Amino acid sequence: MNKKNNIDIEFILVEPSHSGNIGACARAIKNMGFEKLAIVKPRKTITEEAFHRAKSAKDILENAVIYESFDQAIEEKNLILATSARERTIPWPTFYIDEISEEIKGELKSEKTKSAIIFGREDNGLSNEELQKCHIHLVIPTSDEYSSLNLSHALQLVAFEIRKIYLDNNVPISEEKDLVSNLENEKLLEHLMEVLKKIDFYDPKSSKQVKTRIERLIKKIRLDKMEMGILRGFLSKIMDFEK
């Protein structure tokens, strides 16, 4: 099966510390027919070791995008999946990598979707704040006795499962929603929190989990552009009323 992927999926490594791992990830990406590698604030430059580990995926390395921050990496994305084994105080939508919901599968196959698959630092993964900016958390069902995976091995497993989704003709492509970007969601969250403070519903000092739970709600709803316009207009009217 040599079917070419036309879906827009970027595999993003957050602050990787080993250049060789970056090269091995590039190889894993190309093995599964994908093309996009991005790196957030790499702690090591892309060295000759990376190109050696990449083998025939040197083009993936050469075209890798470097982002200055996590927020910059995801701002244009409208489907963000993060790999995580971290325990969360506030539950987030989570799937094993081979049990992703049919809705998300359909969105992954859509040409309207700009997807990001996020992989954390080799030593301590993604922070809670970073995880909360993602729509879905993906878990690789490793052994409880030894759960640590090399970065490129984790990426290979996830990319394999995503490729299976793409090749599965029984998964319908989702074309209904014109989903908003993460940057638009962040602006909505800021607007909403401003309104809640204005009407004395929210106090940042005493209601520490409110913002996080509202962010989770926004991520779960998966707003399209028309829904976003309605909500922003509604919030603006409230602000006008309160002046």
User: Exposed/middle/buried for 198, CB within 10 Å: 0-12, 13-18, 19+?
Assistant: middle
Average pLDDT of the chain is 90
Task: Report, as an integer, the average pLDDT of 27-46.
Answer: 94
**Measured distance CA(155)–CA(28) in Å, rounded:** 7
Task: Report, as an integer, the average pLDDT of 115-143.
Answer: 93
Higher pLDDT, 89 or 211: 211
Q: What pLDDT does residue 79 have?
A: 96
Q: What's the N-to-C CA distance of the chain in angstroms?
A: 62
Domains of the chain: 8-167 (3.40.1280.10), 182-242 (1.10.8)
pLDDT beyond 80 at 4: no
For the chain, percent of residues with pLDDT exceeding 90: 70
Higher pLDDT, 106 or 89: 106
**Measured distance CA(86)–CA(9) in Å, rounded:** 23
Task: Give the HSE-up count for residue 105: Cα atoms under 13 Å, Cβ half-sphere.
Answer: 20
Q: What pLDDT does residue 217 have?
A: 92
**Measured distance CA(18)–CA(53) in Å, rounded:** 11
Q: Is the pTM of this model over 0.85?
A: yes
**Measured distance CA(78)–CA(180) in Å, rounded:** 6
Q: pLDDT class for 84, splitting at 50, 70, 90?
A: confident
Helix (H) or strand (E) holding 16: none
Task: Report, as an integer, the average pLDDT of 133-151.
Answer: 91
**Measured distance CA(235)–CA(46) in Å, rounded:** 46
For the chain, percent of residues with pLDDT exceeding 70: 94
Q: pLDDT class for 23, splitting at 50, 70, 90?
A: very high
pLDDT beyond 60 at 3: no
Grouping H, G, I as helix, E, B as strand and the rest as coil, residue 62 is: helix
Full DSSP string of 103-149: HHHHHHH-TT-EEEEEE-BTTTB--HHHHTTSSEEEE----SS----
pLDDT beyond 90 at 183: yes
Among the listed ranges 19-28, 118-127, 203-212, which one has the minimum average pLDDT value? 203-212
**Measured distance CA(138)–CA(161) in Å, rounded:** 11
Task: Report, as an integer, the average pLDDT of 138-160.
Answer: 93
45 φψ region: left (φ > 0), alpha (ψ -120 to 50), beta (else): beta
pLDDT beyond 80 at 155: yes
pLDDT beyond 60 at 43: yes
By the 8 A CB rule, do 5 and 31 touch?
A: no
Q: pLDDT class for 114, splitting at 50, 70, 90?
A: very high
Task: Report, as an integer, the average pLDDT of 121-125.
Answer: 91
Q: What pLDDT does residue 241 have?
A: 77
Eight-class DSSP state of 167 = H
Residue that is written with structure tokens 């969105």 in the block: 107
Q: pLDDT class for 33, splitting at 50, 70, 90?
A: very high
